Copies of this chain bind each other. A is one copy, B any other.
Amino acid sequence: MKVSALEIPITRTNQSRLPEVDFNNLPFGSVFSDHMFLADYYDGAWQDARVVPYGPLSLEPAAKVFHYGQEVFEGMKAYKDKEGQVWLFRPLENQRRLNKSASRLMIPELPEAIFMEGLKTLLRTDSDWIPTVAGSSLYIRPFLFASGNGFHASPSDRYTFVIATAPSGAYFAGEVHVRIEEKYSRAANGGVGYAKAGGNYAGQFYPTQLAKEAGFQQVIWTDDNTHEYIEEAGAMNIFVRIGDTLLTSPTSDRILDGITRKSILELAEAEGIPTEVRKISVSEIVEASKKGQLKEMFGAGTAAVVSPISGYGYRDERFDLPEVADSYATFFKKRITDIQYNRSEDPFGWRYPVS
Residue numbers of A with Cβ under 8 A of B are: 28-30, 32, 36, 54-62, 65-71, 73, 75, 103-106, 139, 141, 143, 145-146, 149-155, 162, 164, 166, 168, 171, 181, 183-192, 197-206, 208-209, 224-225, 227, 234-235
Q: Tell me if A189 and B185 are in contact (CB < 8 A).
A: yes
B-chain residues with CB within 8 Å of residue A201 when the two chains form the complex: 67-70, 153
| Chain B residues positioned under 8 Å from A168 (CB to CB) | 151
**B154:A66 contact, CB within 8 angstroms:** no
Instruction: Establish whether residues A150 and B30, one from each chain, have CB atoms under 8 Å apart when the complex forms.
Output: yes
Closest to A204 in B: B153
Residues of B within 8 A of A59 (CB): 56-57, 59
Report Cα–Cα, A139/B62, bound state, in Å: 12
* Complex alpha-carbon distance, A143 and B64, angstroms: 11
Q: A199 vs B193: C-alpha distance in the bound complex, in angstroms?
A: 11
Complexed CA–CA distance, A59 and B59 (Å): 8
Max chain B C-beta neighbours (<10 A), residue from A151, A166, A235? A151
Q: In the complex, A171→B126 CA distance in Å? A: 48
Query: Which of B60, B171, B209 sits near A57, CB closer than 8 Å?
Result: B60
CB distance B203 to A199 under 8 Å?
Answer: yes
In the complex, A61 Cα to B59 Cα: how many Å?
Answer: 11
A225: chain B residues at CB < 8 Å are 189, 224-225
- With A59-B59, A191-B185 known as contacts, the answer to whether A205 contacts B69 (CB < 8 A) is no
Closest residue of chain B to A36, judged by CB? B61
Closest chain B residue, CB of each to CB of A171: B152
* Distance in angstroms between the alpha carbons of A67 and B30 in the assembled complex: 14
24 A/B residue pairs, CB under 8 Å, sorted by A: A29-B150, A29-B151, A30-B152, A55-B60, A56-B58, A56-B60, A57-B58, A57-B60, A66-B143, A67-B73, A67-B201, A68-B202, A69-B69, A70-B198, A105-B202, A106-B205, A139-B151, A153-B204, A184-B191, A187-B191, A190-B224, A191-B191, A197-B203, A198-B199
Q: Do residues B206 and A104 form an inter-chain contact, with CB atoms below 8 A? A: yes
> How close is A216's CB to chain B, nearest CB, in angstroms?
15
Known: A36-B61, A56-B61, A106-B205. 15 other contacts (CB 8 A): A56-B58, A61-B162, A66-B73, A66-B162, A69-B71, A69-B197, A69-B199, A69-B200, A155-B205, A155-B209, A185-B189, A187-B188, A188-B188, A191-B224, A197-B202
A141, A168, A189, most chain B CB atoms within 10 A? A189
In the complex, A56→B57 CA distance in Å? 9
User: Is the CB–CB distance between A188 and B69 below 8 Å?
Assistant: no
| Chain B residue contacts of A65, Cβ below 8 A | 65-66, 198
Docked Cα-Cα span, A69 to B223, in Å, equals 21
A234 to B28 Cα, complex, angstroms: 39
